[in-house]
Structure 1
């Protein structure tokens, strides 16, 4: 959930929403003249807000600006104990991530925070960032997430669309497939989350759903929400269907049984009309983890074949 850093009304509303994470924004949603004055409000919101178990993130300004270093110093010195991650926008190189890592280490040492506890989320928002995404994803042990920022990216490649995150008219295929897959592979190769960015038409629920389904199908972990109306759609789309969750639980149980002594120590067996093996089990584990994280309960149970020995 994105929250403008200087808006008390949005800050109050955000604390009531069932999102996994929120971020307080000091970048695009704050006007240049208002940026210095927004920092104390972010510190206060982190220290006094009721955020529950949600991940607490602040998006600073990008490293090419005069505001970035002061954003980090003010926020971490003032509220580092109540902060989980710094989001770095418009990342173009691994060196920019290394800069933030070093600055965080210096501040943590200076104020007595555990070194390395505060993570980094990196936004890929232009052609140069995408070209360097594999190096960026490996740039720091603090990195937790790689995020696609569609608006700036669309501008950087001259994409002919004015709707953030939507398909450009006249192009029949998915204009974002290469971008999303590159970010996803770079993230997974380094054990990171991959998050899709915003969809600009906040009242177009079906447009948001289409955009979310695109990245969810590839394997992204979630998508930004700009408006409360988008939140239930995101929670639905990025959780597995009940049928897929049930099947995944069955695959794991069936595989565990058939590879056991009682099940015949078989490495590949049939579950209905589907062959399952170790690779199928790994795929099922992903779906099961997503379903359990979403609080789903199964509606089916694996039945051992007749005559099987029970341990």
Structure 2
């Protein structure tokens, strides 16, 4: 074979070395600030239950109530499909998976609420409720009845309720430690954040708790709830949510949009407070850009229109909820809040239809990308990452099975993890 002629260059190697040295600090900063997705399972929703209502049978009773709502208002696949506009092709698989989910794992993420859903109580009463919540959560993880993710929403860091919130957090975490340690699925929510300094205060609290109990530094993370205008735009006119992520020092796990508090703070009247209002879209777009690449995930808010009453009223609420969930999914908000057991059927119907209707196309595009065979769409590495992430989220929530993904793509779960930039065999 003919010998390849050397290519000509003009720059001395010292130039590359100087540029590398000059950008070393930037390289390190990029790696620290933008580590990418953690590669663990993200729940499709969060259920909030007041601290005085939460009990050992909460998850089971929500599943039973959700199945009862289906039996009464959509007893078969055709009935649910007619209400929600699901195609005939998807109706059966979606309905069957929804029912199975409600029996097997009706709640993916449960937050025991000590904030707005609980209100102001006597200190002794909240102390007892926080201790009971810790014991109940610990027992659920020990006996296998827990949701994949569980924790509390404490009161915020504003002066009027700060001490109470800190005490409740302390009682809850201490109770878990006494019951055997912090569960892997532990999630804490810090609401109504207005200043990055409040996030810093939460970090200092958790650092102190970790040191007291000999836990690894950074063991305890938390969610930041975005429900004030100051968390989006500061008094100086600068965006603030990115500062809050930075202030969390790597402990922020997600940003949750608070539909009603945020809308109200913008002056939106009660009848129009919804996750699809323009003020919500603006806030969530800012959150999305601030969190991109940081490993901090996003959750949409909720609707307060409950599926209760007669069948016609339930169907109206289901259509609204289903449409809002679908809208969020299309906008890359893969998690949201559910406020009532009868929201669960439409949460899972929307999620399962979303992942199943795009399964074959996403699989074909990803298979063509891996095989370098091309196709109707020319995909790049970033798109391949998105395609594999889509399939992985469908697998995580039970919308699709690994066998059908493997059949359509020729790829294993480890292959998908690699393409998505996740650690192999992640949650």
Q: For this structure pair, what is the TM-score category when the shorter chain's length is used for normalisation? A: 0.7 to 0.9
Match of 2:213 in 1: 111
Count the aligned residue pairs: 286
Q: CA deviation at 1:224?
A: 0.8
Aligned 8 A contact 1:181 1:218 in 2:
no
Aligned 8 A contact 2:111 2:150 in 1:
yes
Partner SS for 2:339: coil
The structure having more radius of gyration, on CA atoms, is 2
Aligned 8 A contact 1:166 1:207 in 2:
no
Q: Residue 5 of structure 1 is aligned with which of 43, 47, 51?
A: 51
Q: Residue 301 of structure 1 is aligned with which of 372, 391, 408?
A: 408
1:35-77: per-residue Cα shift (whole Å, max 9, x none)?
Answer: 3442222222222235435112210000111312111211111
Kindly indicate which of the two structures has a greater share of residues assigned to helix: 2
Aligned 8 A contact 1:25 1:60 in 2:
yes
Kindly indicate which of the two structures has a greater share of residues assigned to strand: 1
Task: State the distance in 2 between where 1:192 and 1:208 align.
Answer: 25
Whether 2:245 is the aligned partner of 1:137: answer yes
Q: CA deviation at 1:166?
A: 5.5
Q: CA deviation at 1:161?
A: 2.6
Q: Residue 72 of structure 1 is aligned with which of 169, 173, 183?
A: 169
Match of 2:11 in 1: none
More contact order relative to length (CA 8 Å, sep ≥ 6): 2
Q: TM-score normalized by structure 1?
A: 0.83
Match of 1:182 in 2: 286
Q: Residue 86 of structure 1 is aligned with which of 184, 188, 191?
A: 188
Q: Residue 95 of structure 1 is aligned with which of 194, 197, 213?
A: 197
1:69–1:294 distance in 2 versus 1, CA, 3 Å: closer
Aligned 8 A contact 2:107 2:147 in 1:
no
1:201-244: per-residue Cα shift (whole Å, max 9, x none)?
Answer: 12122222222222211101211111111123223334533231
Match of 2:150 in 1: 56
1:8-51: per-residue Cα shift (whole Å, max 9, x none)?
Answer: 55x52225642221111111111312534422222222222354
Q: Residue 205 of structure 1 is aligned with which of 315, 318, 322?
A: 318
RMSD: 2.3
1:3–1:186 distance in 2 versus 1, CA, 3 Å: same
Task: Note the residue ranges of structure 1 that are not aligned, 5 or more in a row.
Answer: 169-173, 264-268, 304-311
Aligned 8 A contact 1:122 1:143 in 2:
yes
Task: State the distance in 1 between where 2:381 and 2:275 align.
Answer: 38
Q: CA deviation at 1:301?
A: 3.4
Match of 1:309 in 2: none
Whether 2:115 is the aligned partner of 1:27: answer yes
Aligned 8 A contact 1:163 1:200 in 2:
no
Q: Residue 246 of structure 1 is aligned with which of 357, 360, 365?
A: 360
Task: Note the residue ranges of structure 2 that are not aligned, 5 or more in a row.
Answer: 1-46, 64-105, 234-239, 308-316, 411-427
1:60-112: per-residue Cα shift (whole Å, max 9, x none)?
Answer: 00011131211121111111424512110001122111111111111122123
Q: TM-score normalized by structure 2?
A: 0.62
Segments of 4+ moved more than 6 angstroms: none
Q: CA deviation at 1:175?
A: 4.2
Q: CA deviation at 1:157?
A: 0.9
Q: Identify the range of structure 1 (232-241 vs 182-191) with the bigger mean alpha-carbon deviation.
A: 232-241
Q: CA deviation at 1:158?
A: 0.7
Match of 1:307 in 2: none
Task: State the distance in 2 between where 1:164 and 1:36 align.
Answer: 33
Q: CA deviation at 1:167?
A: 5.4
1:22–1:217 distance in 2 versus 1, CA, 3 Å: same
Match of 1:146 in 2: 255
Task: State the distance in 2 between where 1:183 and 1:236 align.
Answer: 26
Match of 1:306 in 2: none
Task: State the distance in 2 between where 1:302 and 1:156 align.
Answer: 47
Aligned 8 A contact 2:365 2:377 in 1:
no
Aligned 8 A contact 1:150 1:198 in 2:
yes
